[in-house]
């Protein structure tokens, strides 16, 4: 069962972890000046194009949810500053995320850090943005500022972060603001194409399978490279219900034996989860193991309905994760979507047959 934690908790730990990781990535690039030359960085898969100071070398590019991470030289060469862009699912609105950041600060979610600013800035020309500034003093000494500007586009949230010490901040901040203000956005490459609009039916381009999504749902960029297909519904607060499709080459698959084993496997992975059902269900002309589990994702109670079955090319896992308070109402629609899954003709990557079931 795929596990995605509280988005805000993940965010809180990311900045410090990124800085720690990148301090050993590169030697010392030169410090940028306000009129320094820039280099265009484009990530069509993530739907973003920006101009970065040429002297801020990129250390990480297009990796999981990181669009890029670049380094900024500081007085201590062992502690470079960082500028980064990350991609996530869009909340219902930026004020919902602002409220969560405030709550995280009040409960001490970032020990040793103080929240200096957390404000939604209205901008009719460029679009609204949420600007959040944390100040903290790391063990090595000095004052550091972490500024994150969040922008919503194409059902995604782009988070631009500047993390530097107080001596670097005055020169780096105008350059960072320019990156954010001049960023261009396009729909990310989700790997899926709309096949039948009235049915909201989408086909996975590379692995050649299709399914109908509930009304208002559409594919978005997957949070993990192992996911072949990822889609979400309209956001509620900072959360949006989602669908994840995984596949693997055929292996021995005894659904009746798995029906007995899977509940214990899930409890071992998440001791507090509640197994609501684990039954065999029809999946087209074949059979699937359908499991419904209630668990928690940070402050949310979630219900997951998943099906595991053998297709003509691969063994598949389809997982709908929705807030528990909406599950009973959505369950018939989710099952209808799961029933609609089918492989379509065409060549697929190694590991699967070229013919659908």
Binning pLDDT at 50, 70 and 90, where does residue 268 land? very high
Fold of the 192-343 domain: Protein Transport Mog1p; Chain A (3.40.1000)
Q: How high is the mean pLDDT of the chain?
A: 88
Q: Hey, what are 100's tokens? A: 């969560």
pLDDT score at 118 = 97
- Least Cα distance to 86 among 109, 104, 69, 110 occurs for 69
Q: Please give the average per-residue pLDDT across 90-101, as a whole number.
A: 95
Binning pLDDT at 50, 70 and 90, where does residue 35 land? low
pLDDT score at 243 = 97
- Least Cα distance to 292 among 279, 302, 305, 274 occurs for 305
Summarised one tens digit per residue, pLDDT across range 69-93 is 999 999 988 889 999 999 999 999 9
Summarised one tens digit per residue, pLDDT across range 295-333 is 998 788 999 999 999 999 999 999 999 999 999 999 999
Q: Is the pLDDT of residue 354 over 50?
A: no
Q: Please give the average per-residue pLDDT across 55-61, as a whole number.
A: 95
pLDDT score at 140 = 73
pLDDT score at 351 = 60
Instruction: Say how far apart CA 132 and CA 114 lie, in whole Å.
Output: 11
pLDDT score at 60 = 95
Q: Please give the average per-residue pLDDT across 171-189, as a whole number.
A: 95
pTM for the full predicted model: 0.83
Fold of the 7-185 domain: Protein Transport Mog1p; Chain A (3.40.1000)
Q: Is the dihedral angle over the CA atoms 76, 79, 80, 83 positive or is it negative? A: negative
Binning pLDDT at 50, 70 and 90, where does residue 15 land? very low
pLDDT score at 349 = 87
Q: Which residues contact 120 (CB under 8 A, 6 or more apart)?
A: 94, 95, 98, 128, 129, 130, 131
Residues of the chain with CATH 3.40.1000.10: 7-185, 192-343
Binning pLDDT at 50, 70 and 90, where does residue 124 land? confident
Q: Is the pLDDT of residue 353 over 80?
A: no
Q: Which residues pair with 179 in a beta bridge?
A: none
Percent of the residues in the chain that have a pLDDT greater than 70, as a whole number: 88
Order of strands across the sheet that contains 184-185: 38-43, 48-53, 184-185
pLDDT score at 17 = 45
Q: Is the pLDDT of residue 32 over 60?
A: no
10 Å CB burial of residue 14 (0-12, 13-18, 19+) is middle
Main-chain dihedrals φ then ψ at residue 75, nearest 5 degrees: -60, -35
Locate tokens 């997957």: which residue?
Answer: 222
Q: Hey, what are 224's tokens? A: 């993990």
Q: Hey, what are 255's tokens? A: 């659904």
pLDDT score at 33 = 46
pLDDT score at 11 = 40
Summarised one tens digit per residue, pLDDT across range 201-227 is 999 999 999 999 999 999 999 777 789
- Least Cα distance to 4 among 338, 337, 321 occurs for 321
- Least Cα distance to 238 among 157, 128, 151, 304 occurs for 157
Instruction: Say how far apart CA 135 and CA 142 lie, in whole Å.
Output: 10
């Amino acid at each position: 069962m795929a596990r995605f934690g509280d988005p805000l908790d993940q965010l809180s730990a990311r900045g410090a972890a990124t800085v720690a990781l990148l301090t050993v990535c590169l030697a010392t690039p030169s410090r940028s000046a306000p009129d320094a030359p820039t280099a265009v960085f484009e990530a069509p898969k993530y739907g973003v194009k920006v101009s970065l100071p040429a002297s801020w070398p990129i250390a990480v590019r297009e990796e999981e949810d990181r669009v890029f991470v670049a380094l900024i030289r500081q007085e201590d060469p062992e502690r470079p500053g960082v500028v980064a862009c990350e991609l996530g699912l869009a909340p219902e609105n930026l004020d919902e995320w602002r409220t969560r950041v405030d709550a995280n600060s009040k409960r001490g979610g970032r020990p040793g850090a103080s929240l200096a600013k957390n404000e939604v800035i209205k901008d009719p020309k460029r679009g609204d943005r949420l600007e959040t500034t944390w100040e903290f003093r790391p063990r090595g000494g000095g004052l550091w500022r972490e500024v994150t500007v969040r922008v919503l586009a194409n059902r995604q949230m782009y988070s631009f972060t500047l993390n530097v010490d107080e001596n670097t901040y005055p020169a780096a901040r105008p350059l960072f603001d320019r990156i954010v203000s001049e960023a261009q956005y396009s729909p990310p490459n989700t790997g899926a194409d709309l096949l039948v609009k009235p049915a909201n039916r989408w086909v996975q381009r590379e692995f050649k399978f299709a399914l109908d999504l509930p009304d208002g749902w559409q594919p978005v960029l997957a949070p993990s490279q192992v996911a072949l297909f990822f889609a979400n519904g309209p956001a509620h607060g900072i959360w949006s219900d989602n669908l994840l499709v995984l596949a693997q080459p055929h292996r021995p698959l005894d659904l009746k034996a798995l029906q007995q084993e899977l509940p214990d496997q899930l409890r071992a992975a998440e001791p507090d989860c509640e197994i609501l059902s684990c039954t065999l269900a029809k999946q087209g002309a074949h059979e699937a193991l359908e499991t419904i589990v209630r668990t928690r994702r940070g402050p949310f109670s979630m219900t997951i309905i998943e099906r595991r079955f053998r297709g003509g090319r691969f063994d598949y896992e389809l997982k709908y994760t929705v807030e528990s308070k909406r599950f009973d109402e959505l369950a018939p629609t989710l099952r209808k979507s799961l029933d609609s899954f089918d492989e379509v003709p065409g060549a697929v990557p190694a590991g699967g047959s070229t013919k659908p079931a």
